[in-house]
Structure 1
Amino acid sequence: MISAGYCRLMSRYNTWQNASLVTAADELTNEERWKDRGAFFQSIAATLNHLYWADALILERLKGNGRPEEAIKHSLTSPSNWADFKALRLHRNKEIEEWAARLCDDDLGGMIVWYPGDGSTRIEKPKALCAMQLFNHQTHHRGQVHAMLTAAGAKPEPTDLQMLEY
């Protein structure tokens, strides 16, 4: 389905695109970052916080943690401080790249099991599918942030994968 090389490429793409969005969002005021822009999570900041949380959750599942919601709490409002968010985002990007760097193709085989926050339902999915979801989910929401930033007058970089420098 996918390879460890795919995960390494997409982790680099994740880091590049997050840096692009953060740099563009630096041009805005805090109020502009939190302004409701009609997106699913309303604002640029809330959508970026959702991505930060979801990346942690999916990555923990991929590492074998079947109950990551017990330690990772979803919040659209935290971190609320932009400098704190930027530092945490850099750390999460590095964490994803380090995970991908350690992967072998065989590591993407098999199934992973987890229980959502209420713990009532056991979910089992192919590990490769969950790795793809990590990167697909990022791309989906970063596209929303890119559109909100552009509408606000900021200028994020292009998102085309072939623009990623080797």
Structure 2
Amino acid sequence: MLHHYRMFADYNRWANQRLYDACATLSDAEFRADKGAFFGSLHRTLNHILVGDRAWMKRLTGTGPAPRALDEILFDAFAELRAAREAEDARIIDWLGALDDDALSALVEYTPITSPTPVIQRRDRVLAHVFNHQTHHRGQAHAILTALGKPSLLLDLVYFQRTDGAQWG
């Protein structure tokens, strides 16, 4: 399973790069336009994905910033948000690279941002959510891009495996 999660970390880095490349072509007004997605705009959706990753990495590693709200705007400027996304993707990849298979069954205790009740979960179950969460909200970001009249992105895992991620195929 560790190999599987490392693949997902690399895939998420790749997909995030493609998504941010597409967002870089937008005007600031387009980037901030509310298009009816769960978090409204690309600006808010991309901030939310980073909020989620930072919250989970804080829980998993005990280090890094801990966001206070799921809709927190961590970075207002696109360039700063992109740089933080790239750094977080590298952090996730590096952290997974240092784990061994036994580490996946370790228990993680955390308190959700939305509830004061502590939760205990296996690390591998948490990681499944982390990667699914990114994919879910990247899909919303993709829908916003197409609503803005931009070309559809190829973000499928299998496309990654057949191209840049051939080592995972």
Q: TM-score, normalised by structure 2?
A: 0.87
Note if contact 1:7-1:100 (Cα within 8 Å) is conserved in structure 2.
Answer: yes
Deviation of the 1:116 alpha carbon: 2.9
Paired residue for 1:145, among 141, 144, 158? 141
Cα distance in 2 for partners of 1:89, 1:104 equals 25
Match of residue 31 from structure 2: 33
Overall identity of the aligned pairs, in %: 33
Deviations 1:58-81 (A, max 9, x none): 12212257xx88x43334433111
Deviations 1:113-154 (A, max 9, x none): 012348831111121110100100000000000111122122
Match of residue 158 from structure 1: 154
Note if contact 1:28-1:154 (Cα within 8 Å) is conserved in structure 2.
Answer: no
Cα distance in 1 for partners of 2:61, 2:27 equals 37
Alignment length (residue pairs): 161
Cα distance in 2 for partners of 1:99, 1:129 equals 16
Cα distance in 2 for partners of 1:45, 1:118 equals 22
Note if contact 2:60-2:123 (Cα within 8 Å) is conserved in structure 1.
Answer: yes
Q: TM-score, normalised by structure 1?
A: 0.89
Cα distance in 2 for partners of 1:87, 1:159 equals 20
Spell out structure 1 runs of 4+ moving beyond 6 A: none
Alignment of structure 1 residues 1-166 onto 2, 5 Å: 3-64=1-62, 71-74=66-69, 75-117=71-113, 120-155=116-151, 157-164=153-160, 165=164, 166=166
Q: Structure 2: give runs of 5+ residues left out of the alignment.
A: none
Partner-residue secondary structure (3-state), 1:36: coil
Note if contact 2:68-2:113 (Cα within 8 Å) is conserved in structure 1.
Answer: no
Give the number of the structure with larger relative contact order, counting CA–CA contacts within 8 Å between residues 6 or more apart.
Answer: 1
Cα distance in 1 for partners of 2:87, 2:62 equals 20
Note if contact 1:22-1:86 (Cα within 8 Å) is conserved in structure 2.
Answer: yes
Note if contact 2:51-2:74 (Cα within 8 Å) is conserved in structure 1.
Answer: no
Against the structure 1 CA distance between its residues 138 and 51, is the aligned structure 2 distance closer, same or farther, given a 3 Å change threshold? same
Against the structure 1 CA distance between its residues 6 and 118, is the aligned structure 2 distance closer, same or farther, given a 3 Å change threshold? closer
Cα distance in 2 for partners of 1:91, 1:155 equals 26
Against the structure 1 CA distance between its residues 147 and 59, is the aligned structure 2 distance closer, same or farther, given a 3 Å change threshold? same
Q: Structure 1: give runs of 5+ residues left out of the alignment.
A: none
